[in-house]
Chains A and B, each alone.
Chain A
Amino acid sequence: MTEEAVPAAGQEMSYVYAVCRAGTPVETALAGQPGLEGAPLRTVRAGELAALVSSVPSVSYGTEGVKAQMEDLDRLEVLARTHHAVVEAAYEHAAVLPMRLVTVYLDDGRVGEMLGARAPEFSALLARLEGHVELGVKIYADPREAVAVTGGAPETDTAASPGRAYLQRRRSQQRNHRETYRAAGSVAAEVPARVDGIARAHVAHRPQQGDLAQAAGENILNDAYLVQDAQADAFRAALAGLADDVPGVRVEITGPWAPYSFATPPAAAEGDTR
């Protein structure tokens, strides 16, 4: 491998967004559309496969450039959203395997070599994912919302001493907290049964937290399901109303996504399913 390759300044490199089968509508539909930095997309073919690629400046996409982009949230966001936008646009036309962010080669020739070397693995994955989409299921527990719905702590005796009122309030908060999380757990446990027979595969992501998990409440379940295109509506319907009468518990379905979470070799993906 050419790990030590250091492209000259001003040189362009090939950024790979996704891999698809050669000859699918992806190639014609996306060719010429803008990718990162506004550069036009093109495909690089090798045998039965094609990689969706655009040229990026080596200054910004070499080791140092990428680090700088990753450390700047605004730039990372543009990078991630553009990468995702290209993958998603491609996925509307045919099955694609999304690459991890910032998979960069020195030139198209190197991309072709990579495609050739990985052809059997990629073909098998495409065969598995064709005609499928990924749907995300997130469940949130929000004890504060539960309080709002149930009208706070009605049992609090306003005539009680401040200390006792505090204890009552606190006890009621704790009870509400426990009950909300327990209810969220029950809702989460019901998901697999509801989508049984619809979902083809399942991967558990880590619940979201941190600055970007802006949704109200705490994310207690963050899963991805692989579903046939035609079954996406059935999947949503199966989960409809799941938490409608459970105060403080919210179910969010995201997607359809390109099957990012299932684009790892089957052996690895099965390790994640449960």
Chain B
Amino acid sequence: MSDSLAGRMGASSAASPYGQQQSSANLADILERVLDKGIVIAGDIKINLLDIELLTIKLRLLVASVDKAKEMGIDWWEHDPSLSSRARPHQAAGASQDASAVEAENARLRAEIAELRAAVGLPATSAAGAGQDALPGRVETETETETEEGGRSK
């Protein structure tokens, strides 16, 4: 499946003795294991493993370490709009609003889908579309609330 990857690997001086059996392994499977599994010991060189995990997230390779990073309280990507829809803040008003925040986000996403459909001029549905059809009237009001809150990003 990854001929080009295998080819690139072949070019590496290090690969040749093992190259053949390697070409079949998928890079995602390998990265998942060598970056996220195995024995973790801090060597002499101070390499921040968390940095490495987050770098891989940044590279959008695999999101294998998100849960682990979260456990350690690292969640900057949630505030980065290019990495998470949750970067749009609507949680400022208090913790009790978590549930309604989810609903609001749901509505906002539906509204966005409706807008996109309208913009394309097609009632196109996404290949992965789940859930029910948006209710246009309701969505519009939700959209307005969202827009008002949209100002305080980050």
State the A residues within 8 Å of B (CB). 1-5, 7, 13, 16, 19, 33-38, 61-63, 66-67, 70-71, 73-74, 76-78, 80-89, 97-106, 110, 114, 118, 122, 125, 136, 143-144, 166, 170, 173-174, 177-178, 205-206, 208-215, 218, 222, 254, 257, 260-261, 263-264
Residue B15 interfacial (CB < 8 Å)? yes
Query: In the complex the two chains form, what is the Cα distance from A261 to B43 in whole Å?
Result: 20
- B8's contact among A36, A74, A205, by CB below 8 Å, is which? A74
Given the known interface contacts A98-B34, A205-B64, the answer about A136 and B44 at a Cβ–Cβ threshold of 8 Å is no
For A264, list chain B residues within 8 Å (CB).
37, 39-40
A67 near B27 with CB under 8 A, answer: no
Of A38, A70, A99, A125, the most chain B CB neighbours within 10 A belong to A70
B21 near A88 with CB under 8 A, answer: yes
B63 near A177 with CB under 8 A, answer: no
Distance of A262 from chain B, by nearest CB (Å): 8
A100 near B45 with CB under 8 A, answer: no
For A211, list chain B residues within 8 Å (CB).
59-61
Distance of B44 from chain A, by nearest CB (Å): 4
Residue B49 interfacial (CB < 8 Å)? yes
Distance of B4 from chain A, by nearest CB (Å): 11
Query: In the complex the two chains form, what is the Cα distance from A136 to B62 in whole Å?
Result: 16
For A98, list chain B residues within 8 Å (CB).
33-34, 37-39
- Contacts of B105-126 to chain A: CB distance below 8 A: 123, 125
Q: Can you spell out 19 A-B residue pairs with CB atoms less than 8 angstroms apart?
A: A3-B44, A3-B46, A19-B39, A34-B13, A34-B17, A37-B13, A62-B45, A63-B46, A70-B56, A78-B8, A78-B15, A98-B38, A100-B49, A103-B43, A118-B41, A208-B28, A213-B62, A260-B34, A264-B40
Among residues of A, the one whose C-beta sits closest to the C-beta of B22 is A85
Distance of B62 from chain A, by nearest CB (Å): 6
Query: In the complex the two chains form, what is the Cα distance from A170 to B125 in whole Å?
Result: 7
A209 near B39 with CB under 8 A, answer: no
**Told that A100-B49, A104-B44, A114-B41 touch, could you supply 20 new A-B pairs with CB distance under 8 A?**
A19-B39, A34-B14, A36-B14, A88-B21, A99-B41, A100-B34, A100-B38, A102-B47, A103-B39, A104-B45, A105-B44, A170-B125, A177-B129, A177-B130, A209-B62, A212-B28, A214-B1, A260-B33, A261-B33, A264-B40
B63 near A210 with CB under 8 A, answer: yes
For A38, list chain B residues within 8 Å (CB).
13-14
Query: In the complex the two chains form, what is the Cα distance from A155 to B76 in whole Å?
Result: 48
- A177's contact among B38, B47, B128, by CB below 8 Å, is which? B128
Distance of A227 from chain B, by nearest CB (Å): 16
Among residues of A, the one whose C-beta sits closest to the C-beta of B35 is A101
B130 near A100 with CB under 8 A, answer: no
Given the known interface contacts A2-B44, A99-B41, A103-B43, the answer about A80 and B62 at a Cβ–Cβ threshold of 8 Å is no
For A84, list chain B residues within 8 Å (CB).
22, 25, 30, 33-34
Residue B80 interfacial (CB < 8 Å)? no
For A74, list chain B residues within 8 Å (CB).
8
Residue B55 interfacial (CB < 8 Å)? yes
Bin chain B's interface residue count: 35 or more
Given the known interface contacts A38-B14, A70-B52, A70-B55, the answer about A106 and B33 at a Cβ–Cβ threshold of 8 Å is no
Query: In the complex the two chains form, what is the Cα distance from A84 to B5 in whole Å?
Result: 14
B60 near A81 with CB under 8 A, answer: no
Contact with A along B58-97 (1 / 0, CB 8 A): 1111111011000000000000000000000000000000
B14 near A67 with CB under 8 A, answer: no
B15 near A106 with CB under 8 A, answer: no
Distance of B8 from chain A, by nearest CB (Å): 7
Among residues of B, the one whose C-beta sits closest to the C-beta of A138 is B29
B62 near A101 with CB under 8 A, answer: no
For A73, list chain B residues within 8 Å (CB).
59, 61
Query: In the complex the two chains form, what is the Cα distance from A137 to B68 in whole Å?
Result: 21
